[in-house]
Amino acid sequence: ASLLALAACGDDGTSAVGDTADATADAADAADTDGPADTAPDTLDAAGDSADTAADTAEPDPRVRHSRAIGGMSMGAVAITIALEHPGTFDMVGALGGYADASYLMSHMLRLELGGFCPLATLEAELAALNDPTAPVWCGPATPKLELEFAQDWNHLHYDSNGITMTREFYREVIENFSIAFGNLTVPGDATRPVLPAGVDVAWYEGTAPADRCADPKPVDHEHSFNLEYNPDGAYAVLPLCDQDGPTAAGLAPSDFDAAAPRNRPISPLLFVDLNGDGRRDYAEPVMVNAWERFDDVGVDGCPNALEDGAGGCHAATAIPPLAPDPNGDDYDWAQNPDGTEGNDAYDLGEPYRDDGLDGVPAARAGFADEGEGNGHWDAVANFASLMARDADSLIRAASDEDLAGTDFWLDAGIRDALQAGVGTRNIVAALRSRGRDVRVYHGFGGREGTLTPAVGDGEFTANLFSADLSAGAIGRDVYVEYGDPDATPAQIAEGDGKHVGRDIDALNRLAAFLFAALARMPDPDRTPGFDPQAARDVSYYSEALGARRGFTIGLPPGYDDPANAALRYPVLFFLHGLGQEASDLGPAAAVLSILMSDGRMPKAILVFPDGQCCFVDQETGQRECACVEGQGVRHCVDPACTGSEASCAVRDIPNARLVRECQKGSLYTDLLTDRWGVPRSDLGYATSVMEIVGYVDANYRTRAGEAPSR
């Protein structure tokens, strides 16, 4: 148990890094309490892409301060979305290595993970060889479009095991989890079961065992089987897709498709075109994508660079020679042209599109007009709106100046992040810069030019934080640390350099940097030493959003319970954990930080860890359990119906074997549309529950923002 337990975002619930309570203590011991560390400057150096911009002045900050910060890692990086949805609530937000750019998450999934298939004519010429990986029937990997993207395809998904073990099963569960959060994003969803594709026989799907659905799949109805790329005439059956847990053949990565393995695992949101009619997806048969009307990502000027006239318009024919690489200056570049719309991987009003509906097939060919066809505007699947409502990039660009003004932004991502967090976070930087924010970019934490501490290596970075100046004037109000050495050796990369969690030292530095910066920027920091460190506490409250008792973990500062401090109020830092964790896993981290507060090395604060896991369902009773902590072979669960004080609520021990989560890969801190069984519900408000906890903590603890704490 350690500070780096915060970095554990592995799908198996284990830490991707070692026990670092000692590492944290060593870092504290290494810091010179009488002054700055010997190897570090008094302040962190401003560096990176925006080092040429002027540092913030030391003028008084006119903002209203709430003494609250929120951050999170991986899945928990959606903290930035929560902060943007509730302007004026948090003074600082941290998004560490996550996927808060939801629109990019969808677009790269459609381009890369669900790509790599050959054109229809190629496949039709090789119908007898569609399951033969040695035949010329595969055109992957899909080509990356943006820097830092990995080349991959549906048969060769990118594999990594740094913090997350990205097996084929992992990808299946992630696709399903995002679908229960937002609805089907690959094809139009069913009106009553938004995870399932429209055209699937819902009664058959829900009434048939998964193995039987895979063995004898039922095609979708003819109207929903059209697809411009692979079924333009509706000549082929389109079936619900069944995949596999992973390969058994030698030489394949755990994320690869094995042509010889059985297809016995349904992926509820996905369909495929059964070109050879054998009732299963063969190696070369395509996943069907009808996510939005086809468009040309050429920018709002309406033409590609080769036709641009340099005055914002377009030539009728290609200029020879072209006037410039980008005559109209509309190419998107996260660092240099954040408002560019050509090549930004999204549809922008004014770009050419085909108004042929989501299937892309004109009504004259299909015999009918499908969803969105001929209505005079660009369309996406209906569920796209629910995704975009939580897209941090869009929220930043649409926010008022006043709403953005109250929050500092701290971002990080690795250049080799397997979830493409580097690309998505660059897009967040671009969105902030488009709003005039001076985001300082640092290329790592220490030891190289352009890092936060060029004169201090990664190994000494955390020790240096005890005396470093992390103020906006020193390092910039908004910070993006892009970690990972571009020149890393294969051995260093194998250790995790630039990856999702990173090396052990990267994970420590990432979390320590955000925590220290967030607490250091709180008004009137209290570093008075004294009082014993506090252990974290697992507490619960009744959640209206979930319709049940909900648990979270809280760490109170040293001396909080001492009568001498009864009048003191404290800032609050909320931290959202990643995949595979639950709130109680972060209790040891709170204990380590409490030691640093007790020693006066870190400002005192209340630490709160909301639970990002979904509630359990007790398979014996059918009852939901939303406030459970792990025991020996059991879960200690607070009575979900208890609406009274915590002391009045019964706690029962329920065997682990009886409990199943109502989602597979964490709640995504989102108000889910359905449970894992695809049933729409109104009591899945996991995002709303985070804000309930904010209010509960203010009402029941001595926070600076709270008005009438009861304890």
Tens-digit pLDDT profile for residues 166-206: 999 999 999 999 999 999 999 999 999 999 999 999 999 99
CA distance 207 to 193: 14
Local confidence band at 32 (pLDDT 50, 70, 90 cut-offs) = very low
Ranges of H-type helices in 536-685: 587-598
Neighbours of 645 (CB within 10 A): 10
Write the DSSP string, 153-188: BTTB-----SSS---HHHHHHHHHHHHHHH--SSSP
Angle at 209 between CA 275 and CA 580, to 5 degrees: 95
Local confidence band at 317 (pLDDT 50, 70, 90 cut-offs) = confident
Domain ranges of the chain: 3-101+404-520, 118-274, 295-352, 537-557+607-700
At 319 the pLDDT is: 62
Rg (CA), the chain: 26
Answer for the pair 561, 639: CB distance below 8 angstroms, yes or no: no
Q: Residue 667 pLDDT more than 90?
A: yes
Local confidence band at 19 (pLDDT 50, 70, 90 cut-offs) = very low
SS3 266: strand
Chain mean position to CA 547: 26
* Percent of the chain whose predicted confidence (pLDDT) is above 90: 86
SS3 sequence of 119-132? CHHHHHCCHHHCCC
532: number of CA atoms within 13 Å, CB side? Answer: 5
- Between the alpha carbon of residue 391 and those of residues 10, 292, 352, the distances in Å are 24, 17, 23
At 26 the pLDDT is: 45
What tokens appear for 377 in the block?
């505007």
Q: Residue 16 pLDDT more than 90?
A: no
Answer for the pair 501, 16: CB distance below 8 angstroms, yes or no: yes
Angle at 358 between CA 124 and CA 419, to 5 degrees: 85
At 415 the pLDDT is: 98
Whole-number average pLDDT of the chain: 91
DSSP 196: S
SS3 407: coil
Residues 6+ apart with CB under 8 A from 352: 295, 296, 298, 302
At 8 the pLDDT is: 37
CA distance 135 to 535: 61
User: Which one is predicted more confidently, 688 or 711?
Assistant: 688
Answer for the pair 151, 183: CB distance below 8 angstroms, yes or no: no
Q: Residue 400 pLDDT more than 90?
A: yes
Pairing type for strands 92-96 and 68-73 reads parallel
Residue range 656-663: mean pLDDT, rounded? 97
At 65 the pLDDT is: 83
At 664 the pLDDT is: 86
What tokens appear for 510 in the block?
């990432």
Local confidence band at 665 (pLDDT 50, 70, 90 cut-offs) = confident
Q: Residue 17 pLDDT more than 70?
A: no
Query: Exposure pattern of 519-542 as b/e (b: 16+ CB <10 Å)?
Result: bbbbeeebeeeebebbebebbbbb
CA distance 126 to 117: 13
CA distance 268 to 315: 46
DSSP 110: I
SS3 480: strand
Answer for the pair 257, 236: CB distance below 8 angstroms, yes or no: no
Residue type, 610: P
Please state the pTM of the whole predicted model: 0.91
Which contiguous run of DSSP H or E holds residue 688?
A: helix 686-700
Pairing type for strands 616-618 and 659-661 reads antiparallel
CA distance 154 to 214: 19
252-274 pLDDT tens trace: 999 999 999 999 999 999 999 99
CA distance 452 to 468: 11
Q: Which of 558, 556, 561 is nearest to 539 (CA)?
A: 556
488-532 pLDDT tens trace: 999 999 999 999 999 999 999 999 999 999 999 999 999 999 899
At 64 the pLDDT is: 74
585-616 pLDDT tens trace: 999 989 999 999 999 999 999 999 999 999 99
User: Which residues partner with 652 through β-bridges?
Assistant: 637
Residue type, 487: D
- Between the alpha carbon of residue 439 and those of residues 48, 478, 705, the distances in Å are 10, 5, 28
Q: Residue 25 pLDDT more than 70?
A: no
Q: Residue 295 pLDDT more than 80?
A: yes
* Percent of the chain whose predicted confidence (pLDDT) is above 70: 90
Write the DSSP string, 503-548: SHHHHHHHHHHHHHHHHHTSSS------S-----EEEEEEETTTTE
What tokens appear for 641 in the block?
């119906």
Answer for the pair 555, 693: CB distance below 8 angstroms, yes or no: no
